[in-house]
Chains A and B, each alone.
Chain A
């Protein structure tokens, strides 16, 4: 039920409540009815008893010294159908109604109370006047029957109540939730690239309108801080480039300065390469911040992926040699792709670089490329220890390196950049396999031709 739509959750809760209410109503009604019926029963018997005594009192010539005279005819007709017993002052039984087969047991209680006679519950009371005692009562069969009928009638209504509330409240709930669905659809279109979008605020003044206003304010703040952070890294990268240019020019001057000793020049050459590295990191950060802002510009043109891979494989063969790695390639002669050539080359270069870096001595590298329908697939696999299962999720995170091994060069931006570049082309990079013998990455790019 947790995963049900809200509409049906509300409907089910309402239906449950309605059934419970009906049940509660039935029980209460039954209880109140029974009480009222019993009170009426008591009243009826009391009135009949009083009528009986009045008749005895006024019966003509009935009065003797020893007290009133009992005559069966004086018992009211309405009483005769009940259980009735009349005794005189000595306790001798003067009358038993037809349904009463033996006198009531004597218990001395006058008010209405329950008695067991012949295993049946009987409600009985005792009235005394002028030496005569009338005991009248009856079982509550009729009252019980009425109660049961009312109760069953209400139970019988439950399925109807259930159905009506179930569908009724589903309808009401879906009407109430309709604006929420609209919010959901509108919010779905708000992405990092379109953070300036806002949800339409309905003209109503209800909770939904309030919620949308709060959401819009949140998007506003989100957009501002996102833009700030994107602008910050872009600005920071830009402002780093000029000082790097100064550094570089300075180091290059030492390199060509004939007055400098050879060892100084050797160190300068090393520094020059460090500067090149710093400059690449800045380039990469700039590229990532552009990608984050959705403003990575692609300069697309048609080119042969085979040619690009040829260069990348050229590097791989050179690097593989001293490590004793075997490089296998399966690349078609012509594989035209309409994309940003530089970026696609970066993707291939990054992945092949990793395949060399994280390999084992005497291992293997395999590079494949092929057209699959409207996409181009590049598969780069290598032998190696593999990426631990619990780390694969972080693989594409920035500055993340699986083993933190200082001996392996790199700054941990390669894979995240690779993925951003592929995604900028509406493609992707995935890890398709990684165990202790083989790791394989797959790049998919739309051919665009």
Chain B
């Protein structure tokens, strides 16, 4: 994909560049709103990753002018504020998705590739990895034909893992995804719930520990 990244913080822009290039996208990086508008008019982009907090013209204004000029390029906004109002403003102005800083780089890569699909995926009713099936409607989990009872946190955790099989989630990222805000014993809880899930799912193992990196769920080879 051709991606335009608008981010004034050079360090962060560099990390985004590396991560998205590695995911085989072509990137152009600019650091302010005016340049971004000029760039978007001059060349076709599949996606614009737009930081809200920019010097001079802010991200919302860039978005407003883009949509005003009838450009329907997909836009992912990066907001420094996890607040409701920014999310609502951004989406109201026609952003396609948003990500709050600080984000996990892998999350950005995942969101970008989701936006790259021509048709947005319908939210699936069930998730499947090998013979493990999680039914999202009634939180029922099946290993083959055996039904497994799950607690509230276990369902959330398993859902995060099963949405992206094969992706490695760090403990920190799992903490962020499962708990509303930082939990003081987050890491301890992640480890405990993972070990409970493993026991319940039983063998052959599906949840794997990737040393120092975190956990992933994948089909046995």
Q: Are B101 and A244 in contact (CB under 8 A)?
A: yes
List 21 A–B pairs whose Cβ atoms lie within 8 Å, in order of A's numbering: A241-B101, A242-B51, A242-B101, A243-B9, A244-B102, A248-B104, A252-B104, A252-B105, A262-B211, A265-B212, A265-B213, A266-B212, A269-B213, A273-B171, A283-B82, A286-B81, A286-B82, A342-B180, A346-B181, A349-B183, A410-B184
* B181 interface neighbour in A243, A262, A265, A283, Cβ under 8 Å: A283
Report if B135 contacts A (CB, 8 A): no
B9 to chain A: which residues have CB within 8 Å?
242-243, 245-246
CB distance from B24 to the nearest CB of A (A): 16
Q: Which residues of B from 35 to 70 have beta carbons under 8 Å from A?
A: 51, 53
Report if B172 contacts A (CB, 8 A): yes
Chain A residue nearest to B12 (CB atoms) is A246
How many A residues are at the interface, by size bracket? 35 or more
A122 to chain B: which residues have CB within 8 Å?
none
Report if B216 contacts A (CB, 8 A): no
Q: Are B103 and A245 in contact (CB under 8 A)?
A: yes
CB distance from A342 to the nearest CB of B (A): 5
A238 CA to B171 CA, complexed, in Å? 25
A129 to chain B: which residues have CB within 8 Å?
none
CB distance from A84 to the nearest CB of B (A): 111
Q: Are A249 and B105 in contact (CB under 8 A)?
A: yes
Of B110-118, B150-158, B200-208, the stretch lying at the interface with chain A is B150-158
Report if B149 contacts A (CB, 8 A): no
Report if B92 contacts A (CB, 8 A): no
A318 to chain B: which residues have CB within 8 Å?
188-189, 192-193, 196
Q: Are B182 and A277 in contact (CB under 8 A)?
A: yes
A81 CA to B180 CA, complexed, in Å? 113
A349 to chain B: which residues have CB within 8 Å?
179-181, 183
Which B residues are within 8 Å of any A CB, using their own CB? 9, 11-12, 15-16, 18-19, 51, 53, 80-85, 101-106, 151-154, 156, 170-172, 175-176, 179-189, 192-193, 196, 211-214
Chain A residue nearest to B80 (CB atoms) is A241
A315 CA to B175 CA, complexed, in Å? 12
Interface centre among B11, B101, B102, B156 (most CB of A within 10 A): B102
Of A94-102, A113-121, A306-314, the stretch lying at the interface with chain B is A306-314
B170 to chain A: which residues have CB within 8 Å?
252, 255, 269, 272
* B106 interface neighbour in A238, A252, A283, A307, Cβ under 8 Å: A252
Given A246-B15, A315-B183, A319-B189 in contact, is the A307-B152 Cβ separation under 8 Å? yes
B179 to chain A: which residues have CB within 8 Å?
349
A330 to chain B: which residues have CB within 8 Å?
none
Q: Are B151 and A276 in contact (CB under 8 A)?
A: no
Q: Are A276 and B172 in contact (CB under 8 A)?
A: yes
Q: Are B180 and A345 in contact (CB under 8 A)?
A: yes
Chain B residue nearest to A278 (CB atoms) is B102
Report if A393 contacts B (CB, 8 A): no
